[in-house]
Amino acid sequence: MRRLMVVAIASSLAFGFTSVHALPGPTACMFVGVAGLHVLPDGSLTDSPSPDEQERYVRLTLESRERIANTFGEPKAKPVLVYFSRPDGFGPFKLNAFGSTQFIGPHTCVMIGPAGQSIDVVAHELMHAEIHERAGFWSRFMKIPTWFDEGLAMQVDFRPKYLLAAEDAHGLDEVRHLTSFSSFFSGGEQVIISHYAKARVLVANWVERVGRAAVYQQLHQLRYGQSFAEAIE
């Protein structure tokens, strides 16, 4: 058990980066299989025993995957998808009430909380899992800057608060400097919202240039030695 804890902590430190509204939960991803959750017909997991809620989760997953399919083509990633109903997580695990995506090597978990039960949030998080699937764990980790990862996830996330305000439209390219998780998510809430909004526009411009149908292929190229600048920019 002690050894297990050491592995869990080491993994948290090494790979504990999450996406929107970050709170680390990689240990939850490691141990989700033994958390005693209900298994839904599509393989997703939840702590909710309510048949109505379970049915809603299945529909939400379906509609979120459809949004990705309609935007970039059929998604291939098969993350462990967890819907939890308490705002602070499930079991002993503390998680973000909206949503987060956890990566433990090739293993991916998308954890959706009660505040994130919308197609926007679920599609956003599933898109992170898709980027990971297409680019591969190490390429994503080593090569893809956070502004691009978030900007691409925002292409399937239509929440109006992340639309770029006219007064923020200047200095769009400054977002390219936000290559790390810590730089992208630094500043107050409004600053971070403007990072998302700018990244969304920058990546939308890129998608328009390469074409939606080519996005998965562009990500895939990162697996074969190409740098981000060569494959994407």
Query: Which residues contact Zn ion by CB under 5 A?
Result: 19-20, 150, 153
Report in angstroms how near the CB of residue 103 gets to Zn ion at its nearest.
12
CB of residue 222 vs Zn ion: minimum separation in angstroms?
18
Shorter beta-carbon distance to Zn ion: residue 44 or 149: 149
Point out the residue whose Cβ comes nearest to Zn ion: 19
Q: Are strands 80-83 and 107-112 parallel, antiparallel or unpaired?
A: parallel
- How far is 67 from 63, CA to CA, in rounded Å? 6
- Closest to Zn ion by CB, 19 vs 48, is 19
**Cβ closest to Zn ion, residue 19 vs residue 64:** 19
Q: Which residues of 74-101 are buried (b: 16+ CB within 10 A; e: fewer)?
A: ebebebbbbbbeeeebbbebebbbbbbb
* DSSP, res 22: -
Give min distance, CB of 98 to Zn ion, in A.
Answer: 10
Residue holding tokens 């293993």?
A: 107
Residue with Cβ nearer Zn ion (129 or 232): 129
Nearest approach, Cβ of 99 to Zn ion (angstroms)? Answer: 8
- Ramachandran region of residue 70, left (φ > 0), alpha (ψ -120 to 50) or beta? alpha
